[in-house]
Amino acid sequence: MIVGQWFRVRLAMALAVGMAVPLQSQAWAEPWPVIASDSVAWTLLADVRALDSTIEVEARYGTPENFTSAPLPGYEANRIYLRREVAEALARVQKRLMSGGMGLKVFDGYRPVRATLAMVEWAKRTDNTALLTGGFVSSKSRHNLGLAVDLTLVDWSVGGREVDMGTPWDSFTDQAHWASATGRTKKYRELLRRVMEEEGFKQYEQEWWHYSYDVVGETPAFDVVVGEEGR
């Protein structure tokens, strides 16, 4: 089952039982920040693989493998950008993990504003407005600031295979809450959280894959196209 089909099945089940839907990517309550110009954006954003090429990247929102079953606007390459300070911290996390035979796979980092708005438009167009009222899809996200990252662990002792984190990325079930795991899955979540927090990241309790990072100074939003750096 592809991600989009899986998501729709889980959505129907959740709505049927009145399941609480987690806030998508820690949206904030304040007014939308200024959207930086493209030239400013490229001075602040960095490609995570330019800092550590061993980090695995699978930019799912640039493919049909996401809950909308279609690529989102603003994604034109399989690349992950973050604010440079965040990308540097992520590279340090990768170095820690690689020393123990593990590593990172990143699904999303900086997200163009146009992509976030496309999520909202999709929810309205497909009559999935419960995602909006429930907070799973929001018109504002820390991903737009390059300050949030969605990721998982891979095990290089088995060829870089993703480990079992209990649910797929972008699940909205209770099982996706960080504290819900048991056994080996719990140990993997604990490992990821420990190394991420040691480098300054903050875990979002309702999504095991989601971490954010605070930087000093202004935090503008961005709307540059992923893949257009240097054009």
Evaluate whether 171 touches 159 at the Cβ level (below 8 Å).
Answer: no
| 207 has catalytic annotation | yes
User: What count of residues does the chain have?
Assistant: 231
Element (DSSP H or E) covering residue 47:
strand 45-47
Q: Is 103 strand, coil or helix? A: strand
Report the alpha-carbon distance of residue 182 to residue 165 in Å, rounded.
10
Radius of gyration of the chain (CA): 17
Which of 5, 19, 1 has its CA nearest to residue 130? 19
**Pick the catalytic residue: 56, 85, 199, 207?**
207
Report the alpha-carbon distance of residue 198 to residue 185 in Å, rounded.
20
Evaluate whether 105 touches 152 at the Cβ level (below 8 Å).
Answer: yes
Residue with tokens 């909308």: 68
Which of 226, 213, 216, 231 has its CA nearest to residue 45? 226
Which residues carry out catalysis?
Answer: 207
